[in-house]
Structure 1
Amino acid sequence: MEASDGLPTPRRYWAMLTVALALIMAVLDGAIANVALPTIASDVQASPASSIWVVNAYQLVITISLLPCASLGEHYGYRRVYKVGLAVFTLGSLACALSDSLATLTMARVVQGFGAAGIMSVNGALIRYIYPRRQLGHGIGINALLVGVSSAVGPTVAAGILSVASWPWLFAVNIPFGVVALAIATRSLPVNPRTGQRFDVVSAVLNALAFGLLIIGIDGLGQGEGRQLEAVELGVALLAGIWLVRRQLALASPLLPVDLLRIPVFRLSILTSVCSFGAQMLAYVALPFYFQGTLGRSEVATGLLMTPWPLATAVIAPMAGWLADRYPSGMLGGIGLVTMAAGLALIAGLPAEPSSLDIVWRMAICGFGFGLFQSPNNRTMLSSAPRERSGGASGMLATARLLGQTTGAAMVSLLFGLYSDKAVALAILSGAAVAGVAALVSFLRVRHQT
């Protein structure tokens, strides 16, 4: 049994190193594939539309696997799930690098997605056991810093690799890092108490149906696919979700953590997270169309103009984590989300021909506000759950993020379908409104926190 309140140094630093390596790889692989899609499609002789599954398969598998992997962590140990996930991700990366067709690459990305889910689902739970409670916000701030930097440099890393090597190397570079991270994990990661219960396979299947069909249905609405098919997908998702919830109510350690959702501050934090990531994605998807289509900026310039947001988030995240150890996250998150909403409103009010500086400082305000919200919110979600339910909290943290991002992206697609000429402006204004709603929900948490 490990020490009850975090790991001693230097073991704590080694444990965070392996967590950092795996998280960076998983986040980067979600970003770099987008940049390489045209190259991959041309090389494997696939259409642009079908090549999108290289990205979608990875994201979809992660989403439907997060909660089952988190549950496995509670039953069999976070360390074990993390190590298996890292090994699967590394093998999936090797399979991606060796793929010679769209079908084999897509299947390899599915394997990668399962591995990434194993990493992401227990990431927060491991941090809770790595750091003592008084420094939990600091650990989560470092985690947010890694995610922010990885997201920011993803396109740059992809462009750099593609400038000197072929696209399989985008995945092959993961292999040595995966092997090193796995070797460190074996000696450094903490061991957590286990529930000793059997894994609930039926709940895992219902979870996959509910979340998988929900995301496919939402994406279909954005793409303007057949309304009847979308209705069936969303209907089945709803029925599977209802069955899943009813099944969880009788379980002591449910796969879908309905027991944690009964905790007011946890429930409000999840809702805040979904709304905030939805607002972020509304802007992230719409802004490139604004920069290129309206302002006529190049792809390279667009990438540079998008960078201040994640960069500001990465800079403020460690400080926000430090503040979260001392002040209520509801207040910090509310202030951050109000700042983010103001930044989006300022972007919506840009002049007809703005300078790059006009754009950069507004994007930085958005990133600053988002970073001030993210670390404190994640800390609250993890610390408000009982220690033995850290896996469920960690899984819900990642699921809320992906659900918000997916919904936000689908809303942009829907706006383009309904208001093609005004879609970008409406998406940015909608992002500001949703961030405002998230701020109100965040402030509601203050009365539940001491």
Structure 2
Amino acid sequence: MPAARPDSLASPPGWLATGSLMTAVWLGSLDQSIANTALPAIAAALQHTPAESVWILHAYQLAVVATLLPFAALGDLWGARRVFLVGVALFNLAAIASALAPSLEWLAVSRAVQGIGASGLMSVNLALIRQIFPTNRLGQAVGLNAFIVGSGYSLGPVVASLLLSVGPWPWLFGFMVPMGLVGWLLGWRFLPNATEKTAPQPYDLVLALLSALCFASLIFCLSAVECGTLMTVWAGVVAIAAPLAGRLSDRYPPAIMGGIGLCILSAGMVWLSQVTVGTSTTTIGVGMAICGIGFGLFQSPNLRAIMSSSPPERSSGASGMVALARLIGQASGAALVALCFNLFAPVGAGHAIVIGAVAAGLGGLLSVSRLWAR
């Protein structure tokens, strides 16, 4: 039985509805980083080469990118709560299938279904947050969401290492099932239905299929990027900075907060562009931390501005666009690095980071310019 919109977040329906969302979002974030870390162990256990086992990652990424926009449109048409519950259910069932997979082919198909489920829950989670939280606490809410996403990514390698040290690789997927079930039950009972109703809009199935094919094709243009332990520094700092930025964005204009964050991110990328073979791990870690602070300060205010400026009845569409933009940015960044390596080897990495720093700096200026346009 779905709950109405909670009157207070301090009430059990309020924090239990939030708990359902955060549990699902954390599992979706954790799942990606766990698979990246455990890929060699899974490949060895299934007796496949690393090149073949990459499909464990690609199947998931393809499914997520291809279905985000169609799910977001369904959220506006069918209801964000329903799309979320279907997504969590698919994610959980696919996790069971992945844990029982006897072959690489089975596992790849299961991961694709799991990616579809993750896409469903990620496409509407911000829309549901908007329904649960009052406007004056929306920044705090998106900050909490960013913290959960960051902690999921940063804890993935640790969780994978611990599970692989005490059990076989199927445990990596099996341990998610109880948490996913709890998240689904809490969502079914406590997530509110949207109260805003508008004239129904037709769901363009042909356009949805074309969108899926278009964005899925982007994945094939990318090279696999192995993330080292230092990447955890960035994600961990984002997880710390984002909740603080979310609270501040409820008091100060998001344009200022976002501009400051992007400028700090640009400074951190300039720092990293100077890294050489002899650079110490500590120096690299400091640069990653600066980038994490900047991104954390930018992310929550930016999400708040996007969600608060979209019409309530289009919240699912806005949420899906945010998730899709994030994934396209990740894909474009990998493609940019590959291009710079081909054009400017052996200093391609530095050139790519400088381009990113310039883009972040320009983004900061554009963010602040929103104040002048008023």
- If the TM-score is normalised by the length of the shorter chain, which range does it land in? over 0.9
Q: Structure 1 residue 164 and structure 2 residue 166: aligned?
A: yes
Deviation at 1:209, TM superposition (A): 2.2
Q: Distance in 2 between matches of 1:56 and 1:431?
A: 25
Q: Structure 1 residue 365 and structure 2 residue 367: aligned?
A: no
Q: Which residue in the other structure is 1:405 paired with?
A: 330
Task: String of CA shifts for 1:78-102, please: whole Å, max 9, x gaps.
Answer: 1111111101000000010011111
Deviation at 1:117, TM superposition (A): 0.7
Q: 2:362 aligns with which of 425, 430, 437?
A: 437
Q: 1:334 aligns with which of 227, 246, 259?
A: 259
Q: 1:212 aligns with which of 211, 216, 236?
A: 216
Deviation at 1:8, TM superposition (A): 6.3
The one-letter code sitting in structure 2 at the alignment partner of 1:77 is G
Closer, same or farther: CA 3–100 of 1 in aligned 2, 3 Å:
closer
Q: Distance in 1 between matches of 2:157 and 2:277?
A: 28
Q: Structure 1 residue 316 and structure 2 residue 259: aligned?
A: no
Structure 1: any 5+ residue segments left out of the alignment? 224-284, 289-301
Q: Distance in 2 between matches of 1:129 and 1:310?
A: 27
Deviation at 1:438, TM superposition (A): 2.2
Q: Which residue in the other structure is 1:416 paired with?
A: 341
CA contact (8 A) 1:76 1:194 kept: no
Q: Distance in 2 between matches of 1:97 and 1:331?
A: 46
Q: Distance in 2 between matches of 1:62 and 1:131?
A: 26
Deviation at 1:104, TM superposition (A): 0.7
Q: Aligned runs of 1:68-217 on 2, under 5 Å?
A: 68-192=70-194, 193-195=196-198, 196-216=200-220
Deviation at 1:445, TM superposition (A): 2.6
Task: String of CA shifts for 1:50-95, please: whole Å, max 9, x gaps.
Answer: 2111111111111111111111111121111111110100000001
Task: String of CA shifts for 1:388-437, please: whole Å, max 9, x gaps.
Answer: 11011000000000000000011112222333311222222222222223
Closer, same or farther: CA 52–6 of 1 in aligned 2, 3 Å:
farther
Q: 1:427 aligns with which of 348, 352, 356?
A: 352
Which shifted more, 135-144 or 186-195? 186-195
Output the TM-score relative to the length of structure 1.
0.78
Structure 2: any 5+ residue segments left out of the alignment? none
CA contact (8 A) 1:6 1:129 kept: no
CA contact (8 A) 1:57 1:106 kept: yes
CA contact (8 A) 1:6 1:128 kept: no
The one-letter code sitting in structure 2 at the alignment partner of 1:364 is A
CA contact (8 A) 1:5 1:133 kept: no
Closer, same or farther: CA 81–207 of 1 in aligned 2, 3 Å:
same
Runs of at least 4 residues of structure 1 off by over 6 A? none
Q: Which residue in the other structure is 1:231 paired with?
A: none
Does the residue aligned with 1:167 lie in a helix, a strand or coil? coil
Q: 2:16 aligns with which of 14, 17, 27?
A: 14
Deviation at 1:384, TM superposition (A): 0.6
CA contact (8 A) 1:74 1:194 kept: no
Q: Percent identity?
A: 46
CA contact (8 A) 1:7 1:190 kept: no
Closer, same or farther: CA 448–12 of 1 in aligned 2, 3 Å:
farther
Q: 1:353 aligns with which of 261, 278, 281?
A: 278
Q: Distance in 2 between matches of 1:396 and 1:5?
A: 28
CA contact (8 A) 2:5 2:132 kept: no
The one-letter code sitting in structure 1 at the alignment partner of 2:211 is N
Q: Distance in 2 between matches of 1:350 and 1:35?
A: 25
Does the residue aligned with 1:190 lie in a helix, a strand or coil? coil
Output the TM-score relative to the length of structure 2.
0.93
CA contact (8 A) 2:153 2:232 kept: no
CA contact (8 A) 1:308 1:363 kept: yes
Does the residue aligned with 2:252 lie in a helix, a strand or coil? coil
Closer, same or farther: CA 5–406 of 1 in aligned 2, 3 Å:
farther
Q: Aligned runs of 1:272-287 on 2, under 5 Å?
A: none
Q: Which residue in the other structure is 1:392 paired with?
A: 317
The one-letter code sitting in structure 1 at the alignment partner of 2:74 is L
